[in-house]
Structures are given as C-alpha cells and as structure tokens.
Amino acid sequence: MDTQFEEMRKQMEMLKSKLDKQEIINEKILRKSMRKNVNNISRRYTALVVLAMLMIPYAYYIFVNVMGYSIGFWIATAVFMLICCGYTVWNGKDLYSGNLMEKSLLVVRQKMALAKKRDNQWMLFGIPMLILWLAYFVYEVYQKGGAEEVHTLLLASAFGGAVGLILGLTIHFKTQREYQEIIDQIEEMTE
C-alpha cells in the first residue's frame, strides 16, 4: 500500500512539474505575441510623431512662403502638431519601456487597457481640434484669395480630408484592435 501511495505521489509530482513547464512555455509564447503587437503600435506611434514633427517646417514653407498665409495660422498648425506629438509620446511611454514585457501580466494588462482608453479618448480631442484648424484654414484661404479660391480649395481639401479620415480611422482601429488582442491574451492566460 505504501509503495502504491509513493508511486502515485511521484507521478503527481511529475505531472505538476510538466504542468509548470507547460505554463512557462505558454507564458513565453504569449509574451512573444504581445511583444509583436507592442512593437507594431510603437512603430506606428513613432512614425506618427516623426510625420507630425516634419509637418511643422513643411507647413511653414507651404503655408507662409508659398501660399502667403499668416504666421498665426502656421503657429496654430505647429501647436496642433506639437500637441499631437506630445500626446502620442505620453500615451506610448509604457510601450517604449524596454522592460514592459518582463512585468507581471496583470501590470501589462492594466497598462495596455489604459493606453487603449487614452488612444480612444484622443479622438474626442483630436477631431474637434481638427475641425477648428480646418475652419481657420478656410478663413486664411478666404482672406488671401476670396470666395472663388475657397470653393476650389474646399473641393481639393474635401478629397484630401476624406483620404486622411479613412487613413486615420484605419490606423486608429488597427491600434485599438492590437491593444485588445494583448488584453484578451492576458485574460485568457490568467483565467
């Protein structure tokens, strides 16, 4: 009887050891998958920051030098771009941290959920700011060229705005989906 009990105890220990190893392997696979999504979001954020920063001197050249719009309009554009950069860097600060994937899964989940929420909240600020910027743009065009130029530029801007809206929403929803994938993977692992 004692030998059977001892044999069962050894088998239970072996099974527990195998389960522990399996859990470690599953967590490594999970972290690798999460790292891929985090890297995608980080690259996207970096590209958006670089693009926004490049827009500042480009906007000066186009709006002030080429089109003759006011310095005030360029300053408004530059401030808007700087706010975009600042918010993007602030929201992605945890993603840029080299040790994010070494933290506990619950901490990573919490940070990803917060970043996802902030990314979503940006739309509540960004869209009204963009509408105000467009209104200022129309005002500048009207001041410079009159109603006929406003009409022509509005048609061109409507097309550009539609393309920009589609691209922006595509990027936003892809980022939201990748945040959600990370959150879902962690929840599956920790259940």
Residue 132 CB coordination number (10 Å): 12
Give me the pLDDT at residue 1, please: 60
In terms of Cα–Cα distance, which of 122, 106, 115 is closest to 42? 115
Range of the domain at 179: 2-190
Give me the pLDDT at residue 190, please: 73
Q: Alpha carbon of 8 to those of 2, 3, 11, 12, 63: distances in Å?
A: 10, 9, 5, 6, 80
Give me the pLDDT at residue 29, please: 73
HSE value, Cβ hemisphere, 13 Å, CA-based, for 102: 3
**Which residues lie closer than 8 Å to 115 by C-beta, 6 or more apart?**
91, 92, 94, 95, 179
Give me the pLDDT at residue 28, please: 72
Give me the pLDDT at residue 56, please: 95
Local mean pLDDT, 10-residue blocks, the chain (191 residues): 72 66 65 83 93 95 91 95 94 81 82 92 90 88 76 80 89 93 84 70
d(Cα 67, Cα 29) in Å, to the nearest integer?
54
Give me the pLDDT at residue 19, please: 56
Give me the pLDDT at residue 22, please: 58
Give me the pLDDT at residue 116, please: 94
In terms of Cα–Cα distance, which of 55, 158, 131, 79 is closest to 139? 131
Give me the pLDDT at residue 23, please: 60
**Which residues lie closer than 8 Å to 173 by C-beta, 6 or more apart?**
none
Give me the pLDDT at residue 152, please: 79
d(Cα 37, Cα 108) in Å, to the nearest integer?
13
Q: Alpha carbon of 112 to those of 103, 108, 142, 168, 180: distances in Å?
A: 12, 6, 44, 20, 8
User: What is the count of structural domains for the chain?
Assistant: 1
Q: CB–CB of 102/53 below 8 Å? A: no
